[in-house]
Structure 1
Amino acid sequence: MSSWVVMLMLGVSLCMGFLGLVAFLWGLRSGQFDDKEKMMRGVLFDNVSDLNNMAKQDKKDKKHENL
C-alpha cells in the first residue's frame, strides 16, 4: 500500500471519529440520554409484555402532551 492511501485512510478515520465525538457531545448537551424516569419504572415490571405495554402507554402520554 502506498503512503498516500494510508494518509487518506488516516484522515478519513480522524474526520469520522471527530464527527462521532461531536454527535455524542451534542446528544449529551441536548438531553438525549436523560431518561431516568423510564429506567426507574422499568424495574417495577418483570416480564416483556408488561414492558411493551408500558412503552405503548409512554407513547400515548407523549402524544397527549404534544397536543
Structure 2
Amino acid sequence: MSNVITIMIGVSLLTFFIILATFLWAIKNKQFDDEYKFITLNDDEEALNDIINLQKRKEEALRKQKKLS
C-alpha cells in the first residue's frame, strides 16, 4: 500500500514541476503580455453603452430560455 502512495506522490511532484517549468517558460517568452490591450483602450461612452446593451440582451435571452423550459 505504501508503494502506491510513494508512486502517486512521485508522479504528482513530477507533474507539478513540469507544469511549473512550462509556466515559467511562458512568462520568460512573454506569452502573457498583451500590449495591444493597453494601447487601444476603448473607454469612450459609445463602447461602454454597447457593453451594457449586450449584457441586457444576454440577460433577456436567458430569461426567455428559462420561461420556455
- Is the partner of 1:34 in helix, strand or coil? coil
Deviation, 1:25, is 0.4
User: Normalized against structure 2, the TM-score is what?
Assistant: 0.56
User: Normalized against structure 1, the TM-score is what?
Assistant: 0.57
Quote the residue 1:5 is aligned against.
4
Task: Calculate percent identity across the aligned residue pairs.
Answer: 37
Which 4+ residue blocks in structure 1 deviate beyond 3 angstroms?
A: 45-48
Quote the residue 1:65 is aligned against.
none
- What is the CA–CA distance in structure 2 between the aligned matches of 1:40 and 1:28, rounded to whole Å? 20
Query: C-alpha root-mean-square deviation of aligned residues, in Å?
Result: 1.8
- What is the CA–CA distance in structure 1 between the aligned matches of 2:6 and 2:35, rounded to whole Å? 43
Query: Where does the alignment leave 5 or more consecutive residues of structure 1 unmatched?
Result: 49-67
Q: How many residues align structurally?
A: 46
- What is the CA–CA distance in structure 1 between the aligned matches of 2:33 and 2:6, rounded to whole Å? 39
Deviation, 1:37, is 1.9
Quote the residue 1:58 is aligned against.
none
Query: Where does the alignment leave 5 or more consecutive residues of structure 2 unmatched?
Result: 52-69
Q: Which has the higher contact order (CA 8 A, sep 6+)?
A: 1
